[in-house]
Structure 1
Amino acid sequence: MAAEGAGKYTEAYPMKSGDGPSNYAENSLYQKAVVDVAKEVLNKAIAEKLDMEIFSSANSFHIADLGCSVGPNTFYSVENILQAVVFKYKSRGLNSQIPEFQVFFSDHNSNDFNMLFKSLPQNRRYYAAGVPGSFYSRLFPNASIHFFHSSYAIQWLSRVPKKVLEKHSPSWNKGRVHYLDSTDEVVRAYEAQYAEDMECFLHARAQEMVHGGLMALTTPGYPDDTPPSHSRPCVLYQILGSCLIDMARKGVVSEEKIDSFNVPQYYVRPRELEAAVERNGCFSIEIMENLPNLLEPDTFLKRSKLVASFMRAAQEGLFKQHFGEEILDELFDLFQKKVKEQHSEIETRKTVDILIVLKRKEN
């Protein structure tokens, strides 16, 4: 099946580790805020949708966080899930039946697992293990996971669509770094790559999950009625692209390098995510909500330094691999300046954080 082979072609761009000023652990406050607002929905999902009878004979409850990065957000997510499961046992008078918890932290092989495990909470109530590999392929044995979680990870595609990198293709994305502000052909190439990747993702999870198990996925996107070019991520990538072009004019980078560079991220619309689940057929959609908008201008967008820090922490590996480390400071300093200048334009664009909770069907 496609899922088994997907890992062979998966590109990896790990979040920035270490203790420097642009590391991901210190510059993922927005992602932490998403985890916080998702907590209430996760509590509801576990309280109402988790079938205790299915797990009553299990001695341990297995949780997997996909795209864990280097922390600490993965620890917050796991603790939220664990608390909700324990509360459900206690609310049913099953205190003596509360299982032990095994948590699997999973990310690409190149993720800094050393940093992750150095920062594991000392008072944790679970056994921890690392699982390296792409979540577009199999990671766990059949029917071994009770709860899958992933936040701000599945927007990363397994790779840039091939057609986008071919000079003689109608989908060649010359002069741009992303699909949102590009031609219809480029948009369709990204849509096709996303559909292929999500089928691999769901096919793998369907095999790994216990029947009746739950999976919660949070991903950035934009509303169904919004054209790609009117989304907020679009203007941020336009700004990044314009920074590279300015640097090319100064001779810092080559235009050829820019033409061959594309960000392998896909911002999904709710109806596309729903359609991907329905095509797969192994899961029922139990909850699907748009989380409250956290990118309010007064709290994030006017603080252009924070926006630049978030972008750099998440994307530095991608830019470093293609352009080299020496351009990074200038690139993201320029990006910060332009975000501040174009604040009013950014404010008018639309974005949404989608949380979907799926249950593994019995058949």
Structure 2
Amino acid sequence: MKEASGIHMVTGNGENSYAANSRLQEKAILETRPVLCKAIQEVCTSLSARRSTMVVADLGCSSGPNTLHVVSEVIGAVQFYTRKLEEERRAVEVQFFLNDLPGNDFNLVFRSLEQLEHLGGKETQPYYVAGLLGSYYRKLFPSRSVHFFHSSYSLMWRSKGCVEKEKLDTFNLPYYAPSVKEVKALINESKLFDIEHVRLFESNWYPQDDSDSDVVLDYAIGGANVAKCIRAVLEPLIVDHFGDNIIEELFVVYASVVAKHLEKVKAKYPIIMASLKKAMH
């Protein structure tokens, strides 16, 4: 399978778009907020100049409100930290690079940035946002040019499904969900990073369900919402391979299948959160 350079989420902000159906991914960002803030504080501490620039890269930023979530969380964390310092140390500028493949809806991303204009009032840290097209499986930045990398719900996408070509089916997804053990082993094998924090948490299949109950109260609505969430991610790949004639019926059937499953048991997604620091040799 060729490198998956054409993968992208459903564009725009319509009913079936990724922007309108990414609540599951939002919950993961909110869950990881304390780790992100702690890492940003450590980066701030390492900046020595009175007027410093922090460079932040979001790998697989996609589009929609979650992209802005990450930007605003970083700005808020920098602002909170610098307020505790002396006045002359408060001028930390933040340069964001929002990275995704060329098919990503960057137009929506940049149209949405005006929502951040009033973040923190007049004392908002100076920040600058740029889009960066390309695969994170290739080199994207000059050496030692980025202070902080962030990636959420992106690293399970492989560059290319790793078996002999003749064994591939006609439709394949470059997707892999590793275990915590595999993640730790891969990081340790690279010898590039030290593991600061790693843990597994779970999120309900039904993105709008934030309860800890073992019962889905409305499994029909739950099935429909799960289907929308998956459709927002996979529709472009399916249309590219099969055409768009099957899309509506496919996800109606899929919603029904998920609803029947939720009627029996409340299913959850496992999500791995990891915070890494560059290894000092």
Normalising by structure 1, we get a TM-score of 0.67
- Corresponding residue pairs, total: 263
**Which residue number in structure 2 is paired with residue 315 of structure 1?**
234
Pairing 1:160–2:166 present = no
The whole-number CA distance in structure 2 between the counterparts of 1:325 and 1:95 is 58
One of 83, 92, 102 as aligned partner of 1:90 = 83
What CA distance in whole angstroms lies between the structure 1 residues aligned with 2:188 and 2:81? 29
CA distance in 2 between counterparts of 1:336 and 1:266 reads: 23
Tell me the SS of whatever aligns to 1:121: helix
The whole-number CA distance in structure 2 between the counterparts of 1:299 and 1:50 is 44
SS at structure 1 position matched to 2:70: helix
The one-letter amino acid paired with 1:118 is: R
1:37 aligned partner: 31
Q: Check conservation: 1:89, 1:95, Cα contact below 8 A.
A: no
* Alignment equivalent of 1:262, drawn from 148, 172, 177: 172
Q: Match of 1:43, as an amino acid?
A: C
How far is the alpha carbon of 1:301 from its aligned partner?
Answer: 5.9
Where 1:319 maps in the other structure, the secondary structure is helix
For each residue in 1:210-249, what CA deviation from the matched residue of structure 2 results, as whole angstroms up to 9, or x when unmatched?
xxxxxxxxxxxxxxxxxxxxxxxxxxxxxxxxxxxxxxxx
For 1:361, give the aligned amino acid: A
CA distance in 2, matches of 1:315, 1:94: 49
Q: Give the drift of 1:260.
A: 1.1
Alignment-mate amino acid for residue 84 of structure 1: A
Q: Work out the CA distance in 2 between the residues paired with 1:320 and 1:107.
A: 20
Report the Cα offset of residue 326 of structure 1. 1.3
Query: Structure 2 length normalisation: TM-score?
Result: 0.85
**Structure 1 pair 326–281 and aligned structure 2 pair: CA distance change class (3 A):** same
Determine whether 1:71 maps to 2:72. Answer: no
Q: Per-residue CA shift, 1:191-212, capped at 9, x if unaligned?
A: xxxxxxxxxxxxxxxxxxxxxx
The match for 1:199 is: none
Alignment of 1:69-218 (within 5 A): 69-93=62-86, 96-122=89-115, 123=117, 125-163=126-164, 165-167=165-167, 172=168
> In structure 2, do the counterparts of structure 1 residues 359 and 109 end up closer, same or farther at CA, with 3 Å as the change threshold?
same
The structure with the greater share of residues assigned to helix is 1
Q: Distance in 2 between matches of 1:299 and 1:63?
A: 41
Tell me if the contact between 1:61 and 1:146 (Cα under 8 Å) persists in the aligned partners. yes
Matches of 2:155 and 2:257, distance apart in 1: 28
The superposition leaves residues 19-41 of structure 1 with CA deviations (integer Å, 9 ceiling, x where unpaired) of 33201100111111111111122
Distance 1:115 1:88 in 2: 30
**Are residue 21 (structure 1) and residue 15 (structure 2) matched?**
yes
- Unaligned residue ranges in structure 2 (runs of 5+): 120-125, 206-211
CA contact (8 A) 1:86 1:98 kept: no
- Aligned mates of 1:308, 1:42 — CA distance in 2: 30
> 1:92/1:300 Cα in 2 relative to 1: closer, same or farther (>3 Å)?
farther
Q: Deviation at 1:54?
A: 4.3
Say whether 1:353 aligns with 2:263: no
CA distance in 1, matches of 2:95, 2:217: 37
> Equivalent residues in 2 for 1:54-69 (5 A)?
54-56=47-49, 59-69=52-62
Rounded to whole Å, the distance in 1 between the matches of 2:4 and 2:18 is: 21
**In 2: Cα distance, 1:58 partner to 1:143 partner:** 19
Q: Which amino acid aligns with 1:288?
A: V
Pairwise mapping of residues 247-326 of structure 1 onto structure 2 (< 5 A)? Answer: 259-295=169-205, 298=216, 303-326=222-245
Post-superposition Cα deviations, 1:144-180, rounded to whole Å, max 9, x if no partner, equal 11111011011111122242x414xxxx5xxxxxxxx
Mean Cα deviation higher: 38-47 or 133-142: 38-47
CA distance in 1, matches of 2:218, 2:186: 31
- The answer as to whether partners of 2:51 and 2:89 remain within 8 angstroms in 1 is no
- Measure the CA separation in 1 of the matches of 2:136 and 2:217: 33
Structure 1 residue 77: Cα displacement: 1.1
RMSD after superposition: 2.4
Determine if contact 1:301/1:307 at 8 Å carries over to the other structure: no
Deviation (angstroms), 1:67: 0.6
Decide which of 244, 257, 276 is 1:338's aligned counterpart.
Answer: 257
* TM-superposed deviation, 1:98: 3.1
In the TM superposition, residue 129 of structure 1 has moved relative to its aligned partner by 0.4
Kept in 1: contact 2:219–2:263 (CA 8 A): no
Q: CA deviation at 1:309?
A: 0.2
